[in-house]
Chain A
Amino acid sequence: MAVSAPRAAPRRARRPDQLTGGRHGLSADQVRASQRARIVRAMTEAVGEHGYHGVRVADVVWRAGVSRKTFYELFAGKDDCFAVTYGFWIDRLLATTATAFETQADWVDRLRAALTALLGAAAREPHAARLCFSEVVAAGDAAQQRRERATEALGRLFDAPGTPAGPLGETLRAGRVSELCETLRREIAAGRAEQLPDLVPELMCAMVLPFLGMDAAQRELTRGATPAG
């Protein structure tokens, strides 16, 4: 059984990123920023271990080394904190993905670089990956609104040459994003987040198939890796 945080421990060792008590020469804004960052990290770890429904504010407060009062000064509640944490991680994942996409010229190379970067980043941060691709579906409206924007951003990866303009093109792109997200969700939920990079060839096969046909899709299974940039 995995070791997890005590559900109601009153004291814990100071986190490495936790400020020392007393005089530290930091402004109130810097202290708040430090507390906020620790809470985001704590929410990530807690969701990674317990899932969205299993997380209590008490877990997050304990892990972050802040008081409940501080938590509620910075966030409206669990949902708000989750949405901010989701935004923090998904923005980084999307930026990593977009940067890799731009390193290549040909669309297939771009997509492969982007997926390699996305799956690599998700594997390096498995708790964040679980939060972004698996647990977010259980969260509140604020997280769902951010998720819709992330879905739109991922859709730009599938702007393949020859994609029909208008609603049909949108349908094709949205369909691939749904397939990509659902595949990631399934793998992560099965505890295979750290093995995600192994899926790049198969995922490429699935993603280019509607646009380029079976022969081109099959070639993706045996192609060498494209540097993620």
Chain B
Amino acid sequence: MSGGGSPPPAESFADQAFAAAASAYADTPESWERAVQAAIAGLFEFLVERPRQTRACIEADCGAGPPALARRDRAIERFTELLAPGFAAAPAPPPAIVAEAIAGGIYELIRSYVLEGRLHELPDVVPDATVVALSPFLGAAGAVDLVSSTKLRTGR
């Protein structure tokens, strides 16, 4: 992890959350698509196991000024790194906003579940979040097939 002194608590928590997603991603060598799915599951699991910190982090991000916005942007930017391999097959690199929109959409999903008091339900929507994240790369049908085959294999 990066050095450079003690980050503020919310930033430290965002770092840890991203580390959980990156670890799950790295532990899934089967394919990039499966790795993204694992990263989302790993991230959601990390957040659900730490409800108090997750709520504090998300609530701190709500309209709390430039530092919070910058922190959120960094979290979104880091998640876009996990999506980069998906664009490698494109005939021309799509604009950065495509990956940012996907990562931002997942952030918004998490934010809405936290603010609606449904954080504990996040693991149930891993398939939905995976479809949202992968449909730009696989198409809607391909993303659904991937998620469905996971359900068949794991029973989840």
Contacts and interface: CB of A to CB of B under 8 A. Distances in A.
Contact of B132 (A52, A137, A171): A171
Interface string B13-35: 00000000000000000000000
Given A163-B140, A215-B91, A218-B91, A168 B131 contact: yes
A152 interface: no
Interface in A195-225: 199, 202-203, 205-207, 209-211, 213-215, 217-218, 221
A213 to B, nearest CB: 6
Contact of A211 (B94, B131, B140): B140
Interface in B127-143: 128-129, 131-132, 135-136, 139-141, 143
Nearest to A139: B63
Given A178-B105, A178-B109, A218-B91, A206 B63 contact: no
Interface residues of A, number: 42
B84 interface: no
Interface magnitude class on chain B: 35 or more
Interface of A is mostly: helix
Given A51-B63, A52-B63, A137-B63, A214 B104 contact: no
Contacts of A183: 97, 100-101, 104
Contacts of A168: 131, 140, 144
A183 B101 CA distance: 6
Interface of B: 62-65, 69, 73, 76, 90-92, 94-95, 97-98, 100-102, 104-109, 111-112, 115, 128-129, 131-132, 135-136, 139-141, 143-144
18 contacts: A138-B62, A162-B140, A168-B131, A171-B131, A178-B132, A179-B102, A179-B105, A182-B76, A182-B108, A183-B104, A186-B73, A202-B95, A205-B97, A206-B97, A210-B132, A214-B90, A217-B94, A217-B136
